Amino acid sequence: MKILVTATDGFGGHGGIALYVRNLLRAVCAYPHQPQVLAIPRVMPFAPEPRPANLEWATSGLGGKTRYATAVLRALPRGPFDAILCTHVNLLPLACLAARIQRAPLALFVYGHEAKRPQRRTIAHRLISHVDAIVSIRAHTTRVLQSWANVNAIPHYLLENAIDLSRYGIAAKDPQLASRLGLTGKRVVMTLSRLDDPYVGVDEVLAALRYLPREAHDISYLVVGGGPDLPRLREKARALGVEDRVVFAGFVSNEAKADFYRLADVYAMPGSGPTFDRYPFRFVFLEAMACGLPVIGARCEDEAERATDGALLAAQVDPRDSMAIAKAILLALDRPKAVPRGLERLDYASFEQRCHRILEDVFTIRKRPLAPVAS
């Protein structure tokens, strides 16, 4: 059994989609029939992590669109492939071509922002209706996609973000790390994110700091992560007069993240804006909750999701309401650390089992040639 995967990134990548793809590939490689998996990444900014033995992580497609297309096309004679997995809609043209040549079922994975109605439909958007299965990390994303793309007749599946709970857990604050960051004796509110998007929620927390009581001088805001938006955020903290409350820690490795979460007392990320997906199971939310932190997020766009998945959060706030964010922070700081009940269903072991059930369905889809694409 052979599986071909087109991937934007994954091993050696950074961010939520890269982590999701790593989890997906590990789960696919653990499928009981022991498939040979060939995955071709589009980008790989860092050295890749250890990979499953039956995964070939082919880096010949790095370095541009032409190199990537060439790598995918050159992989096809190594088939026949029993399934094609496309981990981002932008890679759908190549994945569809591969599925047509191989006469293999094609599954598309969708996450959030890229599933919204595009202002201009590209060839990739028109091809969505020709895939054999759609796998989404959240039901809201599926509903958004169904609202404009002709996909209602296509089997769709839910495969949410997952977390390896064994890597986290509640533990004491590291006194040396606290001292190095100037956070000894402080109550710490934390956000961890790549700082390349002004909508992740750091601006919103900075604005909320102005509404904390003056006597709450022991509250500090720890921003973990690096990126091109960092200088602007430093300047904004200074302009708001809250720079004495804020610590910018910069980029930290995956191995060090748990120590930073444990240094905090509350995790806050009430992001806003058109590109921010208000997903209550963002990886950083799951990681923070697994370390016992109350999590403050933006109110879910989907009312049903707000009452179900969002219930794991300590608070869902309007990101435009600075006073409400400040109030949520103060209430969360009074809560004892605890891993929320229900988080265990998002453990990686459950993710792997659900992934295998989806693969079983995908493998049984009738192989068919791709229909003509409507203009």
Residue 374 burial (CB count, 10 A): 8
| Tens digit of each residue's pLDDT (9 = 90 or more) over 246-275 | 999 999 988 899 999 999 999 999 998 887
Residue found under tokens 């990681």: 287
- Could you give the angle at the alpha carbon of 198 between the alpha carbons of 192 and 203, nearest 5°? 70
Which residues on neighbouring strands pair with residue 190, listed in sequence order?
222, 267
β-pairing, 55-57 vs 133-136, is unpaired
Extents of the domains making up the chain: 2-162+348-364, 165-345
Residue 277 burial (CB count, 10 A): 21
Q: Do the two domains 2-162+348-364 and 165-345 of this chain adopt the same fold?
A: yes
Report the candidate in 297, 313, 84, 49 with the shortest Cα–Cα distance to residue 164.
49
Report the candidate in 191, 188, 212 with the shortest Cα–Cα distance to residue 201.
191
Residue 275 to residue 291: CA distance in whole angstroms = 27
Whole-number pLDDT of residue 366: 57
Asked if residue 272 lies in contact with residue 204, where contact means CB atoms within 8 angstroms, the answer is yes
CA dihedral 274, 343, 202, 262 (to 10 degrees): -160
Whole-number pLDDT of residue 214: 81
Whole-number pLDDT of residue 369: 46
Which residues on neighbouring strands pair with residue 136, listed in sequence order?
110, 158
What strand order describes the sheet that includes 187-192? 246-250, 219-224, 187-192, 266-269, 295-298, 315-317
Burial pattern 133-169, b for ≥16 Cβ within 10 A else e, equals bbbbbbbbbbebbeeebebeebebbebbbbbebeebe
Residue 160 to residue 158: CA distance in whole angstroms = 6
pLDDT in tens, the chain (375 residues): 999 999 999 999 988 999 999 999 999 999 998 899 999 999 999 999 999 999 999 999 999 999 999 999 999 999 999 999 999 999 999 999 999 999 999 999 999 999 999 989 899 999 999 999 999 999 999 999 999 999 999 999 999 999 999 999 999 999 999 999 999 999 999 999 999 888 899 999 999 999 999 888 899 999 999 999 999 999 999 999 999 999 999 999 888 999 999 999 999 999 988 878 899 999 999 999 999 999 999 999 888 899 999 999 999 999 999 999 999 999 999 999 999 999 999 999 999 999 999 999 999 885 544 445 444
> What is the homologous superfamily of the domain 2-162+348-364 according to CATH?
Glycogen Phosphorylase B; (3.40.50.2000)
84: its two tokens: 């094609």
267: its two tokens: 């995790």
Asked if residue 77 lies in contact with residue 56, where contact means CB atoms within 8 angstroms, the answer is no
Report helix, strand or coil for 71. helix
97: its two tokens: 């071509």
Whole-number pLDDT of residue 374: 47
Report the candidate in 329, 182, 347, 339 with the shortest Cα–Cα distance to residue 269.
329
Whole-number pLDDT of residue 336: 95
Report the candidate in 73, 74, 44, 76 with the shortest Cα–Cα distance to residue 57.
44
Burial pattern 188-201, b for ≥16 Cβ within 10 A else e, equals bbbbbbebebbbbb
Whole-number pLDDT of residue 375: 43
Gyration radius of the chain over CA positions: 22
Whole-number pLDDT of residue 370: 46
Q: Around 58, how many Cα atoms within 13 Å sit in the side-chain half-sphere?
A: 22
Report the candidate in 67, 51, 143 with the shortest Cα–Cα distance to residue 59.
67
Whole-number pLDDT of residue 359: 97
Q: For 12, left (φ over 0), alpha (ψ -120 to 50), or beta?
A: left
Fold of the CATH domain 165-345 = Rossmann fold (3.40.50)
